[in-house]
Chain A
Amino acid sequence: MPVPSSDSPGVVPSKSSIFAGSGDLATEIGRMSDGSAHELNNLGALDSDEDGRSAKKRLGPVFWVAAGWFILVALAALLAPVLPLKSYTAPSAFIRKPPSAQFWFGTDTIGRDIFSRVVWGGRVSLAVAFASITFGVIVGGTIGIVSGYFRGRIETLLMGFCDVLLSFPALLLALSIVAFRGDQRDLLTISLAIGVVSIAPVARLVRANTLVYSQREFVTAARSLGARRGRIIVKEILPNVIFPVLSFSIIAIGLAIVAEGGLAFLGQSVQPPTPTWGGMISDGRNYLSNAPWISLMPCLILFLTVLALNLAGDRIREYFDIKDND
């Protein structure tokens, strides 16, 4: 899990804004024409309107291709039961056949159609990913907002708890949770395992953003008007924190898919015969020399999906990027 370093500002130096000042266009141009030409290349940033949204309001073709791919995969997964797919459980006589017109992705060691297994596997992998990240965002987000808004002892306690969580290697933690549930390796267990791992990074991110927003004028204004804390949190802070969390979540879903793959490689993902992408990749690894498609086809789909999520999440982050040097 990527841990946002917004928690420790000393780690990555940020360039202070040259627009600290009037914000008035004439003065800024004047100031800049007096200084280095490099700063003039930042003039594009002056196109921001009131709340600092970039004028580049287009998400770009990259985003739409990525989003398109992901939607395609998700739809396929969702509609799997009604799609005209071959059975994903029934073995056949066509053992370890390479991709062909009959079996688009080839067949596996007991003759099952890999393409339909990939589609069905997508159901599980995506379900696990969504569920785990949703869990992580809800729990982690709550922790983050509470510590960011209330500060003090609560913050120390909650963030300390997160730090301890973070000092465990992610896979190890997930593994432990799976082991905790004993031999019950179902969807719920795996989602819980990955979800718990995602709590701490989300909490960190949300807390950092809450800190930024709770010090803004509109929160002080709301408070001075007598708004109760809960109301402030929900109406003022939450809407603003959602955007960074959104882009993070998109990328995190990709990571969760990968995490499930990792667990599968350790033999600890959802139990067979339920197909998951990670499980299929792991099962096929002994046949790399003679039937590589067993692993590689699910690999390819997984990779493209994760890539799509990364690109989309990145674009969303840029699109909604509020200037962070306030």
Chain B
Amino acid sequence: MRFVRKKLVQLLVVMLCVTFFSFLLLELLPGDTATTLCAGAGGTECIEQKTAEFHLNDPMPVRYVRWLGGVVTGDFGSSARNAQPVSEALKQRLPVTIELLLYSQFLALIIAVPVGLIAAQRSGSLFDRGSTGVLFLFLAIPNFMLALVLILIFPVRLKLLNAVGYTPFTENPFKSLGSLLLPAITLAAAEMATYMRLLRTDLIATMQEDYITMAKAKGMSPRHILLRHAFKPSSFSLITVIGLNFGRLIGGTLLVEVIFSINGLGKYTVDGILGRDYIPVQGAIVVIALGYVLVNFAVDMIYAALDPRIRHARALV
């Protein structure tokens, strides 16, 4: 339990640092709530009035604390452009990004795991080198390029699937997954190579272990050895990286969301920054950073759960 508590404290510290830093960063950007609200209409009086209304002249730390206080009670403020409460927007958009994330990692793994298993077993073969080459190629393709190519092939040439638009999962699961297929593939392609190589490398290393020879000496079949003996110990790094990727990608779906016009978290932040509407951005960053640290925390816990040696040696932590 001491382990868990220590991690939670670290979590909190990181959150505070990140939110403070982002508040600071946004401070430096041109424009603020007042100017955005008054854009078009009202001159200096409007700006003065709004500035007073939102206490925009108070020193930054004060405003930060005030904002923090709001966050703790669930009030993330409102967008200056459309007055929508940020918490409401976040509630709408977070599930979208999460669905995209889960979907894309799932797709990546569906390819990476079997390919990795086979490549490890037939290490050095044509399949091994060929699959590594192909996946490496995917890795090198910039995501916007892949997105464009996918759009070109499917909606444009083959008239399949929509280039833009999103159906919520709760409305219609199939349509939802269909609408997210192209963006999910775009995100998945980049990770496939990493996952496959990681699994393959670990598998090859594990296969050198004595207990694999022992399993062989018991007469177990190669497939049994691969799946039952070698796979589990080799999956630790993979799981760790998947977890870390989740954390990283929560903020990394930006470009894909913009290209495919998906109203997720990423697009929200971009719209905010480009529209000089910073309160939503601040709120979104909280969610992104929280997601990042929570996921890292969860990965640590899962790691401990998977490896019985760590579980039983908790006292050493």
Q: Which residues of A contact B (CB under 8 A)?
A: 11-13, 15, 36, 38-39, 160, 163-164, 167-172, 175-176, 179-180, 182, 254, 258, 261-262, 265-268, 278, 281-282, 285, 288-289, 292, 295-296, 299, 302-303, 306-307, 310
B141 adjacent to chain A (CB < 8 Å): yes
**A167 pairs with B14, CB closer than 8 A:** yes
**Docked complex Cα distance between A292 and B202 (Å):** 42
Contacts A167-B14, A168-B251, A265-B255 hold; do A302 and B29 have CB atoms under 8 A apart? Answer: no
Q: Is the CB–CB distance between B144 and A265 below 8 Å? A: yes
Quick one: CB contact mask for B1-36 with A, threshold 8 Å, 1 for yes?
Answer: 000000000000010011001100110111000000
Q: A13-B202, A179-B274, A285-B148 are in contact. Are A39 and B22 (CB under 8 A)?
A: no
How many whole Å from B243's CB to the nearest CB in chain A? 10
Contact flag A160-B17 (CB < 8 Å), given A36-B208, A303-B140: yes
Residues facing A in B256-291 (CB within 8 A) are 258-259, 266, 269-270, 273-274, 285, 288-289
Distance (whole angstroms) from the CB of B157 to the closest CB of chain A: 8
Selected A-B contacts with CB under 8 Å, 20 pairs: A13-B202, A13-B236, A15-B205, A163-B14, A168-B22, A168-B285, A169-B251, A169-B252, A169-B269, A172-B270, A172-B285, A175-B270, A175-B273, A179-B273, A180-B28, A180-B30, A265-B255, A266-B255, A281-B144, A289-B156
- Closest Cβ–Cβ distance, residue B14 to chain A (whole Å): 7
Category for how many chain B residues contact A: 35 or more
> Do B205 and A176 have beta carbons less than 8 Å apart?
no
Whether the pair A172, B273 counts as a contact (CB closer than 8 A) is yes
A167 touches B273 (CB 8 A): no
CB pair B145 A302 closer than 8 Å: yes
**Binary contact readout B127-150 vs A (1 if CB under 8 angstroms, 0 otherwise):** 000000000110111111100110
Residues of A within 8 A of B252 (CB): 169-171
Complex-state Cα separation, A168 to B205, whole angstroms: 34
A307 B144 Cβ-Cβ under 8 A = no
**CB distance B21 to A164 under 8 Å?**
yes
For the complex formed, measure the closest distance between the CB of A247 and the CB atoms of chain B, giving whole angstroms: 16
Q: How far is the CB of B214 from chain A (nearest CB, A)?
A: 11
Prevailing SS type, chain A contact patch: helix
Which of A36, A267, A310 is in CB contact (< 8 Å) with B140?
A: A310
Question: What CA separation (Å) do A224 and B84 show in the bound complex?
Answer: 65
Do A171 and B255 form a contact, CB below 8 Å, given A299-B145, A302-B145, A303-B145?
yes
From 225 to 256 in chain B, residues with beta carbon under 8 angstroms from any chain A beta carbon are: 236-237, 240-241, 244, 250-252, 254-255
